[in-house]
Amino acid sequence: MATAAPESHLRENPFRLAQQQLRKVADTFGIDDRLVEVLRQCKKAVEVSIPTTLDDGTVRAYSGYRVTHNIARGPSKGGIRYHPDVTLDEVKSLAMWMTWKCSLMGLPFGGAKGGVICNPKRMSPRELEGMTRRFTSEIINEIGPEKDIPAPDVGTNAQTMAWIFDTYSMNKGHSVLGVVTGKPLTIGGSLGREEATSRGATFCLESALRMQQRGVEGLRVAVQGFGNVGAYFAKLIAEAGATVVAISDSSGGIYNPNGIDVAAAFAHKRSGGSIPELKGGERITNEELIALDCDVFAPCALEQVVTEENADQVKAQVIVEGANGPLTPAADEILDAKGVLILPDVLANAGGVVVSYFEWVQGLQEYFWKEDEVNARLREIVTRAFDETWATYQDRNITMRMAAYGLAVQRVAEATVTRGLYP
């Protein structure tokens, strides 16, 4: 039986929003319309059917996508997500954002993304493995270490990458370490990769606080989403001295103004528990978490959670976008008018792709770095990108998002002009 896409959590078409962002950046930074025409479209989008035998013997044909937005600065790079709400336009928008993210970080990559319409929480490990291996076989001509390099995203993890790596390598007849990043350490993964996105967000927040002549100590932080990014961000920021007052997952959250025991929550979630089951806090919904009284709000779940309907309820003075596109453009404008400092996704959650780049380099060299080396190089790249974005934000009197996108898009535009249009 075939799968149909359910009603999406997305309120607005994300690819149209990404294109509108690009248009706004082009107008602000004076980028040639001919370049905008090239950059507003994705280079390639592939849709595949993934027939998978389920544990009960039935066969289900899942739909999967792999999209490459741009390769002007190098091979394309981007995660694969497994989620019931995946749409082609969502994957296209995420691929475009990956292009800007890699560019802003100064990485020699373009942007790509992939997705499968499925609910991984309702699938057995055997079903997930079968689906992943068939998906890899269907897109095998699209990916490769010099072509397009997948990584984990929402609903996928190191094990998923191991299956892709093995399937690709079996087809090539030898191990190809650089085909994916986010692999387990035992098969060529990088130290520091698992918490890299969250560590990058932490470095970004620390840099913003430095500009405001403040420290992390005693900061009240609310974190929405307790997957890889949210859980590690809560853990790292708590270890740095902040008070994490609220956390949540897809089933709801808990709030404690005196602080939540993040280490206990981390262990509970890793053992398969849900956040609302935790003791030591008042149960809240994800909507209520957005409106909590706190200093920093970190949306680390899905896109478009803050919209024009609830943006005026946000009380935080700093927003750290751990997720991709968690604020709609209308919400952006409302929050900017309120004086909220937004650390945009292409800057705040780029730590993952930076350490993915490190893993790719280590795989190509077959020489692996120590963890403190990985973290030091990550800090250097994220801090430099932050400082460049902050300088543009101050000089031009624009938002941090517009500054980050402006720097990124200009670099891709310059690479496009330098290479020229073929033929």
Residues with catalytic roles: 113
What's the rounded Cα separation, in Å, for the pair 158 and 80?
11
Which residues does residue 116 pair with via DSSP β-bridges, in sequence order?
Answer: 64, 82
C-beta separation of 342 from 327 below 8 A: yes
Show Cβ contacts of residue 1 under 8 Å, excluding neighbours closer than 6 positions.
58, 59, 60, 61
Helices (H), 366-397: 371-396
Reported as type and span, the H/E element at residue 406 is helix 400-419
Cα separation, 158 vs 74, whole angstroms: 24
SS3 label, residue 84: coil
Tokens of 157: 């993890």
- In degrees, to the nearest 5, what angle opens at C-alpha 272 toward C-alphas 326 and 190? 65
Beta bridge partners of 110: 76
How many helices, marked H, and strands, marked E, lie in the chain?
A: 14, 12
- What residues contact 402, with CB distance under 8 A and at least 6 apart? 24, 25, 28, 393, 396
280 close to 256: Cβ distance less than 8 angstroms: yes
Lookup: tokens for 143:
């990916």
Q: Is 280 left (phi over 0), alpha (psi -120 to 50) or beta?
A: left
Paired tokens of 26: 């082009």
Question: What crossing angle do the helices spanning 88-104 and 351-365 adopt, rounded to 10°?
Answer: 80
Tokens of 145: 């270490």
Distance CA 373, CA 385 (A): 19
